[in-house]
Structure 1
Amino acid sequence: MARADRFEANPHWLPMQPARSLDHIPGEDGWMPILGTTLKLLADPPGYVRRMHAKYGPVYRHKSFGGRNVTLLGPDANELVLFDRDKIFSSEQGWGPMLNLLFPRGLMLMDFEKHRVHRRTLSVAFKPEPMKLYAEALNEGIRARVAQWSGKDFAFYPAIKELTLDLAATSFLGIPFGPEAAKINQAFVDMVQASIAVIRAPIPGTAMGRGVAGRKYLVEYFGEEVPKRRAGTAEDMFSQICRATHEDGTQLSVDEIVDHMNFLMMAAHDTITSSATSLMMLLGRNPEWQVRLREEMLGLGVNGEDLPYERLGDLVLTDYAFKESMRMMPPVPSIPRRAVKDFEFRGHKFPKGTFVGINTHFVHHMAEHWPEPDKFDPMRFSPEESRGRHKYAWAPFGGGAHMCLGLHFAYMQVKILAWHMLRTHHVDVAATSGVEWQAWPIPKPRDGLPVTLIDV
């Protein structure tokens, strides 16, 4: 499906711009009429961005996924696009060409006032009281799984992916892991893989065909559950969203709940899986930091095996290490938007309708903001080292109105995971483990990151 075809289902989207509207921006279209530079971009996204920056500077155009785009690089570009003081940039029309067939009308695909209203309504599921209940479920599930991993050699990425699904099933949906949860997992896997499919039409047998089929299954599953959850008193995230109300007292519609749950499950499942994997890989390569984190954890003097919700903030070094891992390997390496107004940046003028991308991975490795950017150094995030750094030099959770709603849930889950893995174990990672990563659609190690969990 060509990009223009997908605008028919979204009549409020801006029409496609004339092909020559970005001719004045330095860059290249590639030699393939439709694909343009798509294959180069998919093959090595970080390398492609570095080469384009070296050749054209912090502003360049390229042709990918069937249309012309511009990329803006640097913390100032991140701030312009993410903070979006003048409401120039549409998240819906930026992400839509990739996600509209799969995750339509999720929170990330809403803009401005509509986004504000829905974000406020959904925030009820992330307040302290429900977060405490999620923490209990996370402790129980992670503690049991780490006990199974103890003393074994295993591939960390598929193991943590399975665990995050189990945890999402209990915390988000309130269901135990089993055949039902396994079908949900496969549906989300298919949908995420379809988001970067080269063939954009849902043809049977293609990635997009499987993704659209996965969405159909989840729409039916969530839709049938909504009335039951509204009538109940369960405290899982799904049930709370089913009973949530807008500012005017009205409840979310069934379709709205289905779309929000589809998106929230995807966002929580894959991004936390990627982030936890990069953290454990980097700690495995820097074992002295495992020792420091273990000493911090044991120094809390907590009675019992679990990390209390109230003590999450005391894991300061763990917080720094997680932030550093997301600096080095952000779970969302690039963020698309579409300009709904004309704008200027670094002396260039862009017409409304321009597809705009920023690249957090590139900015996270800019030596002028991060000395020795390829070195794992969690102390970069101490107050002393952070002082004076550009606020948008680090943006793994986005920023502005679209700052990730579940970021505190992500911190909580990863801290509880680190607590159960590192207090009594050492994570051994071979030098050859996790060397190559697949960047799209969510970063993951091609070898699954083989590790050994050794008792200490």
Structure 2
Amino acid sequence: MTLSPPVAPGLPVLGNALRMMGDVQQFLVDTYREMGPVFRVRALNQAFVIMAGEQANRFLLERGDEVFSSEESFGGLNREFGMRVHVLRGRPHRHLRKVLATGLSRDLLAARWDEVAARTAFLLKEWPAQPAVPVVDRFQRLAAAQLSIAFTGADSAARFDTLRSAFELVLDVTIAGKWPAVALRRPAYRRARAEIHAFARAALEERAAHPQPGPPDLLDRALVAKDENGNPYPIEVRAGMALQGYFAGINTVAYLYSFMLYALLKHPSVLARVAAEVGDEPLTFDRLRHLPALRGLVLETLRVYPPAPGSARTVLEGFDFEGFRVEPGRRVLVATSVPHQLAEHFPDPDRFDIDRDFTAARKASVYAPFSVGSHTCLGAGMTEVLAVATTAMLVQQLTITMPDRPLRITATPGPNPGKHFKVAASHRR
């Protein structure tokens, strides 16, 4: 008889909640080392089977579409904001991903690089005006501006606070289980949701009435998008596509920027290499491809501080994994970034090394900062390019100092340095 996965030790009532609300990546790595590649955790009213290690990543890559659904975890983004790509499976999913990918390309960033760079420089120049800069908040605002300009041609700054609060509430309710579903019925949230829907539809109407020159962006693609059977997507799905460009992904991008800044401050020798490499030359888009130290910083930061350490799914078809049975209906978290901290994949994993070669690890799917398989983050490539660009501009423009306090990672809505991560900034002379 096949056994159910063992239960990870935890506190009465709280279960594993406290550790999972903090540095969830370290919790997953520690528990994997203690209990093996499959175990159960509980966090208040949430219960998950955790699958971790190289074989778990391989399982998600090879059998994820067959046995898992993402409806329970990500259905809120679809129900609330029309982001259908997160819940589809099979051919419909592959088709919509392809449509979205054409509107999230690096070519758009290249075409609009001058506007993105100018907005980035402007927002970074504001940092020295504050005695203590709240890093995550400022990088969220910066990422939202960069992504919306690149993908839609217009900055969404005027609606940033509305967008952020609404999206994060949906994630906290539907994925983290931090709040009950009734939170999505509150009048303030319903007003914000209606405003966001109106904003997305107005953006599409404006683009239809006034086409722009240059390569087609996400708004252009959404206006003419058709499903896998050749039928136009309904308006709510096309509005959801527009919102992907205005806001989806800003947390992941901002958290990466924040951890990169922390890594530079923690490792002065890395900062010195990056600063020397960047120099004072203008940062053209073509030059971004020729900054190996910065590129290494991005990849190593994603290894040590993965902004998406796991992929949440629900089991459709029961299966056996590593000697244990996982039954239908179980919620599963495939902890795709656990191999990042394992010596068999990354020698001396506790050492921050921007000269690591990630080629073999990528091919083996043990380097997976953006998950693996059919639901790999569509904006992964763009995120890496923007991270190089943003950090290069920050190093050129600002001198940053940080209070001598340990990093305190929080996991809501995703792993990030939290509101207590603040720095002092001054203009470089």
TM-score category, normalised to shorter length: 0.7 to 0.9
**Paired amino acid for 1:201:** A
Change (3 A) 1:324 1:48: closer
- The residue aligned with 1:75 is 54
Is this contact kept in 2: 1:60–1:71, CA < 8 A? yes
Deviation at 1:341, TM superposition (A): 2.6
The one-character-per-residue Cα deviations of 1:384-405 (angstroms, maximum 9, x if unpaired) are xx54787222111112222211
Report the Cα offset of residue 136 of structure 1: 2.6
AA matched with 2:394: M
CA distance in 1, matches of 2:397, 2:74: 45
Taking the TM superposition and a 5 Å limit, the aligned residue runs for 1:206-221 are: 213-221=191-199
Aligned mates of 2:220, 2:182 — CA distance in 1? 33
Measure how far apart 1:255 and its partner are.
0.9
Residue 357 to residue 188, structure 1, CA distance change in 2 (3 Å): closer
Instruction: Please show how residues 31-42 of structure 1 align to structure 2 within 5 Å.
Output: 37-38=16-17, 41-42=20-21
CA distance in 2, matches of 1:227, 1:164: 25
Greater relative contact order (CA < 8 Å, ≥ 6 in sequence): 2
Question: What residue in structure 2 maps to residue 437 of structure 1?
Answer: 409
Q: Does 1:353 align with 2:353?
A: no
DSSP-derived class of the 2:70 partner: helix
Alignment of 1:135-214 (within 5 A): 135-149=113-127, 153=131, 154-176=133-155, 179-195=158-174, 196-203=176-183, 213-214=191-192
Is contact 2:318-2:326 (8 Å) kept?
Answer: yes
Indicate whether 1:243 and 2:223 are aligned: yes
Q: What is the alpha-carbon distance in structure 1 between the residues aligned to residue 218 and residue 3 of structure 2? A: 47
Q: Deviations over 1:141-167 (max 9, x none)?
A: 112223333597523222222222233
Offset, 1:57? 1.8
Aligned residue among 15, 24, 48 for 2:4: 24
Q: Using the alignment, how far apart are the partners of 1:251 and 1:314 within structure 2?
A: 41
Q: Deviations over 1:18-47 (max 9, x none)?
A: xxx9963211597878x7654553355345
Mapped pair 1:326 → 2:302:
yes
User: Is contact 1:191-1:215 (8 Å) kept?
Assistant: no
- Going from structure 1 to structure 2, the CA distance change for 1:308 and 1:66 (only over 3 Å counts) comes to same
User: TM-score, normalising length from structure 2?
Assistant: 0.85
CA distance in 2 between counterparts of 1:23 and 1:98 reads 32
Q: Which moved more, 1:120-129 or 1:109-118?
A: 120-129
Indicate the percent of aligned positions where both proteins have the same amino acid. Answer: 19
**Tell me, what secondary structure is at the counterpart of 1:70?**
strand
* Contact in 2 for aligned 1:90/1:338 (Cα 8 Å): yes
Name which of 80, 86, 89 aligns with 1:108.
86
2:65 match: secondary structure: coil
Distance (Å, rounded) in 2 between the aligned partners of 1:116 and 1:97:
17
Whole-angstrom distance in 1 between the partners of 2:71 and 2:43: 16
For residues 406 and 141 of structure 1, the distance between their equivalents in structure 2, rounded to whole angstroms, comes to 20
Q: Distance in 2 between matches of 1:237 and 1:42?
A: 37
From 337, 343, 346, the equivalent of 1:370 is 346
Q: Does 1:413 align with 2:389?
A: no
- For structure 1, which runs of at least 5 residues remain unmatched after alignment? 1-20
Q: Distance in 2 between matches of 1:413 and 1:389?
A: 20
Q: CA RMSD in A?
A: 3.4
Measure how far apart 1:322 and its partner are: 0.5
Instruction: Structure 2: give runs of 5+ residues left out of the alignment.
Output: none
Amino acid at match of 1:375: R
Whether the 8 Å CA contact 1:26–1:59 is kept in 2: the answer is yes
- Give the paired residue count: 423
In 2: Cα distance, 1:106 partner to 1:69 partner: 24
* Shift in Å, 1:287: 1.9
CA contact (8 A) 1:156 1:450 kept: yes
Q: Normalising to structure 1: TM-score of the pair?
A: 0.80
Q: 2: CA distance between counterparts of 1:84 and 1:264?
A: 29
Alpha-carbon shift at residue 262 of structure 1 (Å): 3.7
Contact in 1 for aligned 2:313/2:332 (Cα 8 Å)? yes
- Given that residues 202 and 210 in structure 1 are in contact (C-alpha distance below 8 angstroms), is that contact kept between their aligned partners in structure 2? no
Deviations 1:340-372 (A, max 9, x none): 333222122333433221224433222332233
Return the alpha-carbon distance in structure 1 between the equivalents of residues 81 and 9 of structure 2. 28
